[in-house]
Structure 1
């Protein structure tokens, strides 16, 4: 079994086809298909179900791909560690972030990092907190910026709290609450909500505060980004609750503080197995000591 074969399998799984995977890997399709066939023969199982219209992972393929990703990440990590031992930071820095990250100026931090370490390939993925933590756990991401309720303790990662804050309500112009500075959760519970998807960390920040107050709420519109949440609120389809620092950046909406206010912590997380040399350099640039628990 060769690393290149693993790369080909992962590429097919991620692109959904042999042609696109070959383009990504800069090889001819016949060579990629031949190597995957060799690997399937060695494993004694087919990794893909191929039809004229689609390529799908088999049960064996579903089991193989996550481990292949980990093996590829480990190989890249090994190269990076050798380079670091000679005084050079290189390899990759894969960063994840929620759309409401506010504790750091992420664009500036990434730009500064790339300027300091030009040999590092820097990438960014925007996602919800739970998927980001899972990707850090499995090694797909090196570092992630997430938002969680204060008592949450994600497993398989190390973390630092970067900021603590509250959620505030955002309402459209002309709404009955638009002229008020603050209101109660009980009053907000009478409204229709635009919120993040059920079960997500972002949703739990509000749900747990309402539950603790003995309240329930109606969510008619579920979104995955704060930008679309704001669009729906502006359209008068409901109200939303977002971090206070983010609410100030949403034009055309009025901010109303809630009492008691839902709380959140913004955190940076990295693998419990230890950060890569590039991730160490990035975290230290943020003033975070990655050596602690």
Structure 2
């Protein structure tokens, strides 16, 4: 059994398509298919069910996949640790961030990191805070930047508070509120809202503030990203709430401060286990001790 065969299995499992998996692994499809078939013969069982329309894991494939991921991660970690022992930081750095991150200039930080550690392969994904925490817990991400309610500390990860802020109202430039110096939640409740999905951390920040004030509002449009929220607001379909450090940079809408504004906190989270050399170097660049960040009473693994 070879590591490359495991990489091919993971790629097919994630892409659910042999052609896309081959493109991702930068090999011809016939070579990828041959290696997976060879591995299946060695294991004495099929890992994938293949039809003309789809590819899916068999029960044996479901059992094999997490162990293959762990083996690949261990091999990557061994390579990185050997390099670090010789003074070379290498390996991968998988990061995640909410689209509305305000507390740090992440592109500038990544540029500086790449200049210092050119042998590290960097990847970045941008989704909601809940998914980012789940990926850090599972090991898919090394660290992530979140936006959550004050007092909320994700479990199963290390974390550090980066900044506190508030939400502001974003309205079309021709909206009656566009010229106001401030507005309150009760006045905003008369508007139709564009907001993030119910149950998400982004939505919870505004929901808790309206609930605490005893005010009901109408959320007509649910979106998964800030860009689409702004597009709907810009076209006059509703108003939205965005972080005060993010909204003023958006073109085509007006940001109006809220007197009783919903509060938010940005947090950095990273894995509870000993960080890889690349992760430790990145956290160090941000001035974060990689072995800190556990809630009171929680023991490291």
Q: Is the 8 A contact 2:153 2:159 kept in 1?
A: no
TM alignment of 1:198-209, pairs within 5 A: 198-209=198-209
- Cα pair 2:158 2:272 within 8 Å, conserved: yes
* Residue 278 (str. 1) matches residue 278 (str. 2): yes
Distance apart, 1:125 and its partner CA:
1.2
- 1:78: which partner in 2? 78
**Greater shift in the superposed pair: 120-129 or 17-26:** 17-26
- In structure 2, the CA distance between the partners of 1:263 and 1:46, relative to structure 1 (3 Å rule), is farther
Query: Match for residue 248 of structure 1?
Result: 248
CA distance in 2, matches of 1:273, 1:249: 37
1:92 maps to 92
CA distance in 2, matches of 1:259, 1:144: 30
Q: Distance in 1 between matches of 2:62 and 2:260?
A: 45
Distance 1:68 1:205, change over 3 A: farther
Residue 36 of structure 1 is matched in structure 2 by 36
Aligned residue in 1 for 2:168? 168
Q: Does the residue aligned with 2:198 lie in a helix, a strand or coil? A: coil
Residue 164 (structure 2) pairs with residue 188 (structure 1): no
* Cα drift, residue 44 of structure 1: 5.9
Match of 1:224? 224
Which deviates further from its counterpart, 25-34 or 121-130?
Answer: 25-34
> How far apart are residue 217 of structure 1 and its match?
2.2
> What's the TM-score once normalised by structure 1's chain length?
0.93
Matches of 1:2 and 1:148, distance apart in 2: 42
Quick check: 2:40–2:47 contact (8 Å CA) kept in 1? yes
Structure 2 segments unaligned to the other structure (5+ residues): 294-301
Structure 2 equivalent of residue 4 of structure 1 = 4
Q: After TM superposition, what 4+ stretches of structure 1 lie above 6 angstroms from structure 2?
A: none
The structure-2 alpha-carbon separation of the partners of 1:227 and 1:46, relative to structure 1 and needing over 3 Å to count, comes to same
Compute the displacement of 1:99 (Å): 0.6
Corresponding residue pairs, total: 293
Structure 1 position 62, deviation (Å): 4.3
Instruction: Render the CA deviation track for 1:2-40: whole Å, top value 9, x for unaligned.
Output: 432221111112223112222332334334223323444
**Pairs within 5 Å for 1:233-272:** 233-272=233-272
Per-residue deviation, residues 171-201 of structure 1 (Å, max 9, x unmatched): 1122232222222212212211111122211
Q: Please tell me the root mean square deviation across aligned C-alpha atoms, in Å.
A: 1.9
Matches within 5 A, 1:104-119: 104-119=104-119
- Decide whether aligned partners of structure 1 residues 76 and 260 sit closer, same or farther in structure 2, where only a CA change above 3 A counts: same
Q: Give the drift of 1:67.
A: 4.1
Q: Does the aligned pair in 2 maintain the 1:73–1:140 contact within 8 Å?
A: no
Gaps of 5+ in 1: none
